[in-house]
Amino acid sequence: MDLTLWQYQFRIIMLGDSTVGKSSMLKRYTEDQFLECINETVGVDFYVHFLEVEPGTMIKLQFWDTAGQERFRSVTRSYYRNSVGGLLVFDIGNRASFEHVRDWYSEVCEHVMPHAMIFVLVGHKSDRELDGERTVSKEEAEKLAAQLGTTYVEASAKTGQNIQMCFEVLTRRIYQGLQSGEVKLREGWDGIKSSALQAQQLQSLHESEQTKEKKGCC
Ligand SMILES: Nc1nc2c(ncn2[C@@H]2O[C@H](COP(=O)(O)OP(=O)(O)OP(=O)(O)O)[C@@H](O)[C@H]2O)c(=O)[nH]1
Ligand SMILES: [Mg+2]
């Protein structure tokens, strides 16, 4: 593990119904690519990206791209606890996916209790508005975001509009939480890792190994 590359690692989970475009958002963000035909996610996929939140502070973002399909829910659930942030995604042209956002939110909150996850709500496939396919208005999505205490962003992996913004808003929000003490590093929890702490732990492990060796020698 190269601890010199980043100061913090955040684990972020993608949440939302199947076909809302979670994998496409990550493909656009990490590879700047869009595929009209993309395979549905089976279980969970994994992506990495680096973001400099302020000069000299690099964050390693580890993304868990979960399958939206119900049959994978028992697998995807096991990833909630070790995530610090989540993107709640719906498709602005798919009303049911919007109505299910609350279910996703409640399910995750129940699993991570007594701790809290930081969310951003994403109205995805914003390009569909041009084709007259919008079925969820910006106002009602903003209202839901306010009720859930999150920020609302509309984005499109197809055009690339606001994709970076979704991930950056969430990352900055987590970083601020870390600085204010709202989010804390916890032992045995992988939602956030600090490279300084990891280096310290490696150092003390190394020292205790050396002490053991010396004792063995005597
Ligand atoms: N119009 C439009 N279509 C999109 C956009 N993003 C993704 N799609 C299409 O939506 C379909 C589903 O995208 P995925 O990224 O696989 O959706 P998903 O949420 O990962 O689905 P699961 O893996 O089953 O949970 C694909 O056909 C994509 O090409 C977008 O921004 N605009
Ligand atoms: Mg997917």
Region of 78 (left: φ > 0; alpha: ψ -120 to 50; beta: rest) is alpha
* pLDDT at residue 80 greater than cutoff 70: yes
CATH superfamily of 8-216: P-loop containing nucleotide triphosphate hydrolases (3.40.50.300)
* Backbone torsions φ then ψ of 38, nearest 5 degrees: -125, 140
Q: Write down the pTM of the prediction.
A: 0.92
Residues with C-beta less than 6 Å from any ligand 1 atom: 18-24, 35-36, 38, 40-41, 67-69, 124-125, 127-128, 156-158
> Average pLDDT of 119-137?
97
Ligand 2 centroid, distance to 207 Cα (angstroms): 44
* pLDDT at residue 1 greater than cutoff 80: no
46 to each of 13, 173, 184, 216, how far by Cα in Å?
A: 10, 22, 24, 43
Ligand 1 centroid, distance to 156 Cα (angstroms): 10
> Average pLDDT of 109-122?
96
Residue nearest (by alpha carbon) to ligand 1 atom 29: 36
Q: Which ligand places an atom closest to the C-alpha of 69?
A: 1
Per-residue pLDDT reduced to its tens digit, 36-55 = 999 999 999 999 999 999 99
Question: pLDDT band at 3, cuts 50/70/90?
Answer: low
Considering Cα of 100, then 18, then 104, then 177, what sign does the dihedral take?
A: negative
Helix (H, G, I), strand (E, B) or coil at 26: helix
Pick from 98-107, 111-120, 202-211: least confident:
202-211
The C-alpha atoms of residue 16 and residue 82 are separated, in whole angstroms, by: 18
Quick one: which H or E segment has residue 76? helix 73-77
* Backbone torsions φ then ψ of 152, nearest 5 degrees: -110, 130
Residue 172, class by beta-carbon neighbours within 10 Å (0-12 exposed, 13-18 middle, 19+ buried)?
Answer: middle
79 contacts 117 by C-beta, under 8 angstroms: no
> Average pLDDT of 28-38?
96
Atom of ligand 1 nearest to the CA of 16: 19
Ligand 1, residues 17, 30, 34, 38: which to mutate, most atoms within 8 A of Cβ? 38
Question: pLDDT band at 96, cuts 50/70/90?
Answer: very high
The C-alpha atoms of residue 203 and residue 218 are separated, in whole angstroms, by: 23
Ligand 1, residues 14, 17, 24, 87: which to mutate, most atoms within 8 A of Cβ? 24
The C-alpha atoms of residue 41 and residue 196 are separated, in whole angstroms, by: 34
The C-alpha atoms of residue 1 and residue 3 are separated, in whole angstroms, by: 6
Q: What is the pLDDT of residue 216?
A: 65
Reference 101, options 86, 116, 83, 84; nearest CA is 86
> Average pLDDT of 162-181?
97
> Average pLDDT of 14-26?
98
